[in-house]
Amino acid sequence: MAEVIDKTALFEFLCRMGDNTLILGHRVSEWCGHAPVLEEDIALANTALDLIGQTQLWLGYAAQVEGKGRSADDLAFLRDAWDFRNVLMVELPNGDFGQTLMRQFLFDAWQVIMLRHLQGSSDQQVADIAEKASKEVTYHLERSAGTVIGLGDGTKESHARMQAALERLWPYVGEMFDSDATDAAMVQAGVAPDPGALWAEYDALVGAKLSEATLTIPEGDFHHKGGRDGRMHTEHLGHILCTMQWLQRAYPGAKW
């Protein structure tokens, strides 16, 4: 499939998928050793590992499509901030535990829906990656949704924190559904769905869970954007990359 469609567009799409999981995986890993209880510490670490594993698949295929001799490691550790294509939400600081789990839930819901559609991709490798990742992400959503419901419909304090987290993060949700020329090329080739066409499914899924959590979705249509096309990232991405890429930058080509 990579030979009969716009390789530049396919590469861009694969980087978007891989960069989302890479940056969120790094963010979630920051809880290792700092979570409120041991069980959550282990669960968050496992979620981070799942996301990094998915990154290896997406960026590995991206490097193959690009055909310039780069590897998934090169794409992860040797690109600068303006070359990353992740949505802005995943690069935001963790905040408190409630904000981390709210962000995870909002992303998990989108990822479950996207991967379900990608399993029918005309590109077999994309379909295979989606099928493998879906098994992990289904569990991620079950856990994050359950935690959001438990905290949202919990104590007065936990409810207030979850509502604050939702209000903080909701303006970043819309970027996941933006469409551009890359998406149009993927739709035309049958590789991926139009992100904007997934809104209804997302609204139904997220709306039901947030209602159960007794949380109110903020009003307004505004959303932040710029990450998935590389035009603008938050200052936080640079700090993430400084930490994540330091070893490879300091010792170019070093191997274990």
Q: What is the mean pLDDT of residues 125-141?
A: 98
Confidence category of residue 1, pLDDT binned at 50, 70, 90: very low
Orientation angle between helical segments 124-152 and 156-173, nearest 10 degrees:
150
Q: Are 202 and 209 in contact (CB under 8 A)?
A: no
Tell me the average pLDDT of the chain.
Answer: 95
Residue 4 has pLDDT above 80, yes or no: no
Residue 2 has pLDDT above 60, yes or no: no
In the prediction, which pLDDT does 164 show?
98
Amino acid identity, position 32: C
Confidence category of residue 254, pLDDT binned at 50, 70, 90: confident
Instruction: Report the 10 Å Cβ neighbour count for 135.
Output: 10
* Phi/psi at 219 (5° precision): -85, 165
Tens of pLDDT along 226-248?
Answer: 999 999 999 999 999 999 999 99
Tens of pLDDT along 67-124?
Answer: 999 999 999 999 999 999 999 999 999 999 999 999 999 999 999 999 999 999 999 9
* Phi/psi at 177 (5° precision): -115, 5
Q: What is the mean pLDDT of residues 30-51?
A: 92
Confidence category of residue 38, pLDDT binned at 50, 70, 90: confident
Q: What is the mean pLDDT of residues 26-30?
A: 96
Helices (H), the chain: 7-29, 38-66, 72-77, 97-118, 124-152, 156-173, 181-189, 199-212, 235-244, 246-250
Residue 133 has pLDDT above 60, yes or no: yes
Q: Are 159 and 98 in contact (CB under 8 A)?
A: no
Q: Given CATH 3.40.50.150, say whether it is the number of domain 7-250.
A: no
Confidence category of residue 3, pLDDT binned at 50, 70, 90: very low
Sequence-distant (6+) residues with CB within 8 A of 122 are 1, 189, 190, 191
Sequence-distant (6+) residues with CB within 8 A of 140 are 47, 50, 104, 108, 111
In the prediction, which pLDDT does 41 show?
87
Of 42-46, 116-120, 161-165, 171-175, least confident by mean pLDDT is 42-46
**Distance of alpha carbon 11 from alpha carbon 19, whole angstroms:** 12
Sequence-distant (6+) residues with CB within 8 A of 249 are 77, 78
Q: What is the mean pLDDT of residues 215-233?
A: 95
Burial label for 36, CB within 10 Å (0-12, 13-18, 19+), is exposed
Q: Are 218 and 211 in contact (CB under 8 A)?
A: no
Percent of the chain with pLDDT over 90: 92
In the prediction, which pLDDT does 39 show?
85
Orientation angle between helical segments 124-152 and 199-212, nearest 10 degrees:
30
Q: Of residues 157 and 37, which shows the higher confidence score?
A: 157
